[in-house]
Amino acid sequence: MAYWIKITYERSDYVIDLDRISAFACAPSGKITFWLPNSAHQIIINQQSDSEGYHQILDYIKEVLAQSLSGSWIRVNYERNEYIIDLNRISSFCYASRSKLTFWLPDSSIPIIISEQNDPDTYQRILDYVKRKTGYVLP
């Protein structure tokens, strides 16, 4: 089911299906960043730039986190931002020495690196997801 919104960004109007967005980055300043599907084009929105669109996105984020039955949407604190990510849209995971998991956000080139030491809960949720989704166990 599509969840269409209309926002204004950089003097242009966009009509976007939020169900196609794979990740949102929420900064402490209140701005929300997301990447348009099938491109590396990012949209940065805050309450001052488009109050209505901003609140629609916040409501959408709250809804997907609350209704994620498979546990595919997760919150990850990384580099001073809170990322809300749909793991179903991640196509590769990398396990490196010293218990580090890396994956790349779709439609952007941003790597997310989670270590067992810094965020054990998220680290374990991702390992569990990989095992459940792929059948593979990462060390």
> Sheet harboring 111-115: ordered strands across?
93-96, 100-104, 111-115
- pLDDT tens digits for range 70-97: 678 999 999 999 999 999 999 999 998 7
Residue 121 and residue 125: Cα distance in Å, rounded?
A: 6
pLDDT for 127? 94
pLDDT for 70? 64
- pLDDT above 80 (res 53): yes
pLDDT for 122? 92
- pLDDT tens digits for range 90-132: 999 999 877 899 999 988 888 999 999 989 999 999 999 999 9
pLDDT for 40? 82
Q: Given the structure tokens 């990510």, which residue do they identify?
A: 85
Whole-prediction pTM value? 0.91
pLDDT for 123? 93
pLDDT for 85? 95
The band of 1, judged by pLDDT with boundaries at 50, 70 and 90, is: low
Considering the four listed CATH numbers 1.10.10, 2.60.40, 2.40.50, 3.30.70, the one that applies to the domain covering 4-67 is: 2.40.50
Distances (CA, A) of 96 to 20, 126, 134: 30, 14, 18
Residue 64, CB-side half-sphere exposure with 13 Å CA sphere:
24
